[in-house]
Amino acid sequence: MKPQYYLTVVNILVFLLYGWDKHQAIHNGWRISEKTLLAGALLGGGAGALAAMRIFHHKSRKAAFRFGVPVILVIEAAAYAYLKFVR
């Protein structure tokens, strides 16, 4: 699978995962663990996680998400740029 397809799919899934967790938080339902949400960002879903945090106003006060997700996204973008343009 081409990296851009993988990243597109992962970011959509992570975005939906954050959205579902926010829905469940509002309705007192079964929640997704913070480890799972951060793992989704680490697996290439940094952009989806950051977009979901901004759109759904979810996990935006927690330091691990507020600072961690943007750092993850910068590292992912740098790695992608390196693999795409330098290598």
- Say which residues have a Cβ less than 8 Å from residue 84's Cβ, sequence separation at least 6: 3
**Taking 80 as the threshold, does the pLDDT of residue 70 lie above it?**
yes
Rounded distance, CA 17 to CA 5, Å?
18
The three-state secondary structure class of 8 is: helix
pLDDT of residue 3: 81
pLDDT of residue 14: 98
Mean pLDDT of the chain, nearest integer: 95
Structural domains in the chain (count): 1
The domain in which residue 75 lies consists of: 3-86
Cβ proximity of 50 and 14 under 8 Å: no
The three-state secondary structure class of 30 is: coil
| pLDDT tens digits for range 19-61 | 999 999 999 999 999 999 999 999 999 999 999 999 999 999 9
pLDDT of residue 2: 83
